[in-house]
Structure 1
Amino acid sequence: MEHPTGYLTALDAMNRHVNSARPNAPVQVERARPALLAPTRQATALALRRLADRIQPRPMPTAPHCS
């Protein structure tokens, strides 16, 4: 081995990777955070929807057909 430091670093990284998915690994429970900006996001979405409805182009009126 020309570079034993590289070998040891690779071996350590491989061990960490393999051992990280073990069934008895410690698990941290993810806590749900309250949605602080939910009312603001809802009001913004409503305002943007109304604006989009106002500026959306309307279809051209069709000319009457003679048959």
Structure 2
Amino acid sequence: MELPTGYVTALDAMNRHVNSARPDAPVQVERARPALLTSTRRAAAVALHRLADRIQPRPVPAAPRCS
């Protein structure tokens, strides 16, 4: 082989990739993060909903029909 370093690097990367999908592979536990700015997000959502209700076009009233 002309580039033995590349061959070794490729084998190492392939082994890490194949072994990572195994059922007994080491797993990193995902830690639950506390919710940040919950009250600010809720206030922004309320304000945006109120703004959307004001901006939304109202339906045109139906014209009276003679029968």
**TM-score category by the smaller chain?**
0.7 to 0.9
2:9 and 2:29 map into 1 onto residues whose CA distance is 30
**Paired-residue identity, %:** 82
Task: Calculate the TM-score normalised by the size of structure 2.
Answer: 0.83
Cα deviation 1:14-57 (Å, max 9, x = unaligned): 11101112222222211111102111111100000001001111
* Alpha-carbon distance, 1:4 to partner: 2.9
| 2:48 alignment partner in structure 1 | 48
Kindly report the root-mean-square deviation, in angstroms, between the aligned alpha carbons of the 2 structures. 1.4
Segments of 5+ residues of structure 2 without an aligned counterpart are none
User: Cα offset for 1:64?
Assistant: 0.5
Looking at structure 2, the residues matched to 29 and 9 of structure 1 have their Cα atoms a distance apart, in angstroms, of: 28
2:6 maps to what in 1?
6
TM-score relative to the length of structure 1: 0.83
Whichever residue aligns with residue 26 of structure 1, its letter is: P
Q: Which position in structure 1 is the counterpart of 2:59?
A: 59
